Structure 1
Amino acid sequence: MSLIYRERPAAGEAEGLLILHHGRGADEHDLLGLGDTLDPERRLHIVTPRAPLTLGGWPGYHWYVVPRVGYPDQDTFHAAYKGLSEFHDEVWERTGIAPERTIFGGFSMGSVMSYSLGLGADRPSPAGILAFSGFIPVVDDWQPDLAKRPEVFIAHGRQDPVMEVGFARRAKELLEAGGLAVEYHESDAAHHIDPAHVPAAIDWVGRTLVGAGTPK
């Protein structure tokens, strides 16, 4: 599956790669501006893929079918996982930027895919996972591999009516119990990226990728 995407190159030689996965009902344009915000000095190469599934009668795209929040449909989830795996491999080969210099980020359903690919037992571990308003999924034939060691940034709103904040708290507990480094932020926001969390996310991206030491 070849995914449609947008990208924004670094101003000079890229110091890392930021792949941002959009949420349900959006497209490849949605998080490109967030990439600019997270990387104001344009040190990173930014890529934003479009999800493969359309929403009947609605604009935008989505990654998998949702029978119940937190529990993706198995078939569409694994199809999206395979498609993103191939897409990430293509981007790494094309740009020459390695997985250990890459952050997977996303909002809502895009955070779910970032967790899934970043913690997948059969996938390379990225440098970091940036999860806005998402969750670690429960789905047949996929388990988070906590032997992976990406840095993780979680931000979630306590008033989120779509993906309740307990998902973020449980992700934090699971990852920290596995020994992963987690930076965690909550606010009274609903289901959106709270501007109050963005400065911390900018700092985290900089620490995780820009000018970092030897690959993990």
Structure 2
Amino acid sequence: MSALTFLERPAVSEAAGLLVLHHGRGADEHDLLGLGDVLDPQRRLHVVTPRAPLTLPGWPGHHWYVVPRVGFPDRDTFAAASTALAALHDQLWERTGLTPAQTVFGGFSMGSVMSYALGLDGGRPAPAGILAFSGFVPTVEGWVPSLDDRRALRAFIAHGRNDPVMEVGFARRARDLLTSGGLPVEYHESDAAHHIDPAHVPAAVDWVAATLGT
């Protein structure tokens, strides 16, 4: 059982899908709840925003893993966060009756990393899609992305060319990795820094609706 704290925004009627949004470093479960309303303006989806498990001395908010170097999460804290998120996702599917094929994992920054981690884990069921704002596919000892078994998984990648935290090359490499594996990728760049560029949001709204059939 996952011990993660989370918030929920139910659909207005029977949910057509599940949207799980993972926040970035130093934030919490409140950070992306409003983004759920923006991405699903008709409220057809069940939206969930988990809180990362770590608090770190000298750092505000919550964190999914320790960062020894950008792009290379600490193995142990990454594995612990992945295990906790997997348990939460399983609970959500069981409780709501929704399935992985009706689910999008999304996030910003470190939350995008966890969306890739859970969405591309060969030991986990494939979601319908991954929505990645300003993130990267992680390089971690003992974990490799699984692509051959999830070619129906759709990805939306958006990143700013002026991002000083996670440089845009991470997004381009993620795009190329997924595309080479046969996954359909919608890719967006702008001159933004390390934030969700409002210019990318309308395309993300359309992508979520298309991915989950809403």
Structures share fold, TM-score greater than 0.5: yes
Q: Which residue of 2 aligns with 1:187?
A: 190
Q: Which residue of 1 aligns with 2:180?
A: 177
> What CA deviation, in whole Å up to 9, does each residue of 1:135-193 have, x standing for no partner?
00000110000121310000000000000000000000010000000000000000000
> What CA deviation, in whole Å up to 9, does each residue of 1:79-130 have, x standing for no partner?
0010101010001101110000000000000000000000001000000000
Q: Distance in 2 between matches of 1:26 and 1:66?
A: 15
Q: Which residue of 2 aligns with 1:209?
A: 212
Q: Distance in 1 between matches of 2:205 and 2:116?
A: 19
Q: Which residue of 2 aligns with 1:46?
A: 47
Q: Distance in 2 between matches of 1:86 and 1:8?
A: 19
1:45 partner amino acid: H
SS in 2 for 1:89: helix
SS in 2 for 1:61: coil
How do 1:8-27 and structure 2 match up within 5 A? 8-27=9-28
Q: Which residue of 1 aligns with 2:110?
A: 109
Q: Which residue of 2 aligns with 1:4?
A: 5
Q: TM-score, normalised to structure 2's length?
A: 0.97
The count of corresponding residues between Structure 1 and Structure 2 is 211
Deviation, structure 1 residue 56: 1.6
Deviation, structure 1 residue 58: 3.3
Deviation, structure 1 residue 57: 3.2
1:92 partner amino acid: W
Q: Distance in 2 between matches of 1:39 and 1:81?
A: 26
Q: Which residue of 1 aligns with 2:29?
A: 28
SS in 2 for 1:175: helix
Q: Between 145-154 and 98-107, report the one with greater CA deviation.
A: 145-154
Q: Between 151-160 and 53-62, report the one with greater CA deviation.
A: 53-62
Q: Distance in 1 between matches of 2:182 and 2:140?
A: 22
Report if the CA contact (8 A) 1:27-1:61 is conserved: yes
Q: Distance in 2 between matches of 1:163 and 1:126?
A: 25
Q: Distance in 2 between matches of 1:58 and 1:138?
A: 23
Deviation, structure 1 residue 210: 2.7
Report if the CA contact (8 A) 1:25-1:55 is conserved: no
Q: Distance in 1 between matches of 2:116 and 2:58?
A: 29
How do 1:37-116 and structure 2 match up within 5 A? 37-116=38-117
CA RMSD of superposed structures (Å): 0.7
Q: Which residue of 1 aligns with 2:169?
A: 166
Q: Distance in 2 between matches of 1:55 and 1:191?
A: 21
1:190 partner amino acid: A
Runs of 4+ displaced beyond 2 Å: none
SS in 1 for 2:52: coil
Q: Distance in 1 between matches of 2:101 and 2:78?
A: 24
Q: Mind listing any 5+ residue stretches in structure 1 that lack a counterpart?
A: 212-216
Q: Which residue of 2 aligns with 1:154?
A: 157
Q: Mind listing any 5+ residue stretches in structure 2 that lack a counterpart?
A: none
SS in 2 for 1:156: strand
Q: TM-score, normalised to structure 1's length?
A: 0.96
Q: Distance in 2 between matches of 1:58 and 1:127?
A: 34
Report if the CA contact (8 A) 1:16-1:97 is conserved: yes
Q: Distance in 2 between matches of 1:32 and 1:43?
A: 15
